[in-house]
Amino acid sequence: MGRPNGGDSGATPEVIMALKRAGNSQRSIAQRFDVSEAAVSLRLGRAGLIDSTPRSDAMKHFPWKLGRAFHDASLGKLVRNHLEFVATNGHGMSEDKLKRLRALYKKLLGEEQFAEALERGKLDPTTPPKFVVEFDPAIPPGKGNKTGGFALVPWEERDGDLLIRRNEHAELSDDALMVLRFPKRLP
C-alpha cells in the first residue's frame, strides 16, 4: 500500500473530510495520497473529526495486535466481521461480509450444528463448537492461509463459549470476552 504516514502528502484533515463528504471512501483517499488507510484515520482522529461508530467501537475489542504481516489474514478479517456483526446485528454490513461470516460459523460449528441453528433461528448454547480461531505468529502458512499466523484449531473445554482461543497473544478485556462469543442468532 502507500507510505505508512504519508509525510507531506497534502492529505490534511480538511482535504480528507472534503473528499469524504464528496463520497470518497477512506481507501480511495489513502490511495490518492499514497498513504495507508490508518494514516488517513490517524489524521482525522488527531483533528477530532472522527465520530465513533458501532463498528469502530467493536474493533476496540479485537484481541490481537497483528502488525503488517498478518493484518490481511482472512481469519483475522472474519473475526473483525464477527465483531461488526455483534455490534450492528448485521445492519449496514454487505451481503458478501455476511456470507463469509456464515461460512466461518459453519466451519466452527460443523455442518450439522450449523444446520440445526439455522432451522431453530438460534444457536444451542449447550453444544460446543468443533473449532475455534487461534492466532499465533508461529503458525506457518498453509492451505487457504497465505500469511500464516491463524488457524482453526479443535475446540477444547478451556475455550468455553468463545470463538477464539485464549493464549499469550490474545488481549481480552471483560467486554471483549462478551463480544467474542458466538452470537445468539446467525446472520
> Which mean pLDDT values do the consecutive 10-residue runs of the chain (187 residues) have?
52 86 84 84 79 76 88 91 92 92 94 89 86 95 87 94 94 91 87
Q: 51 is written with which cell numbers? A: 465520530
CA angle at residue 117 from 116 to 120, to 5 degrees? 85
Residue 152 near residue 99, CB atoms below 8 Å = no
Nearest to 77 by CA among 51, 53, 104, 54: 104
Instruction: Write out the three cell numbers for 132.
Output: 475455534
Are the CB atoms for 52 and 45 separated by under 8 Å?
no
d(CA 83, CA 6) in angstroms, rounded, equals 29
Q: Which residues contact 154 (CB under 8 A, 6 or more apart)?
A: 130, 131
Grid-cell match 497534502, residue found: 10
Question: Between helices 74-88 and 95-109, what is the axis angle to 10°?
Answer: 110
Q: Which residues pair with 3 in a beta bridge?
A: 35
Q: What angle do CA 147, 148, 149 make, to 5 degrees?
A: 120
- Sign (positive or negative) of CA dihedral 81, 152, 134, 124: positive
Yes or no: say if 71 and 137 are a contact pair by the CB < 8 Å rule: no
Query: Looking at residue 96, what is its pLDDT?
Result: 95
pLDDT of the residue at 134: 96
**pLDDT value at position 27?**
80
Are residues 83 and 59 in contact, defined by beta-carbon separation less than 8 angstroms?
Answer: yes
| pLDDT score for 1 | 43
